[in-house]
Amino acid sequence: MKKLVVNVDESKDKNLLGKRVVAPLDIVVNSPTTVVDQDGRLLVVIDSFDDKDLPYVRSFLPHINYQNNLRLANFQGGFEQLRTSDMSFGYRPYKPLFGMPSGALDFNKKYANWFNRLNDMTERVTEIYETISSDCFNRHKTMAQDIRPEWLLKGGVFSQGIINNSVQHSYHYDRGNFKNTMSAMIVLKHKSTGGWLNLPALGVTLATEDSCIVFFDGQKILHGVTPIVNRYTSSKRFSIVWYTLAKMVNSLSADDEINKIRKTDLKKHRKNS
């Protein structure tokens, strides 16, 4: 695996935040590479990915009923709408505003067989994470030990993931995850070009082609996706991203979560009586 040493320059990030990605940056990484800063600190890893469950996962991704939304992105001094199409899997934290206890996301139940295979593949992703950065992985796993095991995916590190269906994300930071940990991302393509990952502070574009895996801290490193070109109706560019939501440390057992909601509802009822 190659090593690329970069100068980290975050001075342009503020101006790029929220803007649509137009084109790749000057340095394009198109082979297995570790990206480090001048002090040797690991920033990014991109490698090829293979797993026994990958063909099955690849086969069901086009058949998911994705959630479609529109988001605003800054482009040429104005705003435009960017389509998002995605579906989350894994476990959600308690949502007091909606009166929703911690629990399994709809994907786990609606697509139970698919979730099980995706969860099996999560274990392989976690194993790779440990090999590329034992320090970061051990820190991440120690933090995850504060989460009840039933709210973690296989491997005991990630609590949730999201499948993006040909989504060109504008420049953004991830949020709500454990700090100083890495997220994992697999990209799968079919007759699709583009959709690479720009990291402007590093001056690097990752050529995220079919069956690649990427690890980086998306809460620290600004990132966005270059234009995706799907020339055929069957063309697709999927990305599967794993992360750990920090609020999961507050989640109780399934029964205690339900009792908490009942007590909250009872207090509201008494207050309004």
Give the SS3 label for residue 58. Answer: helix
CATH architecture of 2-87+99-272: 4-Layer Sandwich (3.60)
What lies within 8 Å, CB to CB, of 257 at 6+ separation is 94, 101, 102, 103, 251
- Residue 214: what are its φ and ψ, rounded to 5°? -130, 140
3-state secondary structure of 259: helix
**10-residue block means of pLDDT along the chain (273 residues)?**
96 90 96 97 97 96 92 57 87 80 94 97 98 96 97 98 96 95 98 97 98 98 96 95 97 81 58 56
pLDDT for the residue numbered 269: 43
Instruction: Report the candidate in 155, 157, 158 with the shortest Cα–Cα distance to residue 120.
Output: 155
CA distance 128 to 15: 34
Q: Cα 199 to the chain's mean position, in Å? A: 15
Question: What are the tokens at 115?
Answer: 């979730």
Question: Can you give the residue ranges of every domain in the chain?
Answer: 2-87+99-272
Confidence (pTM): 0.90
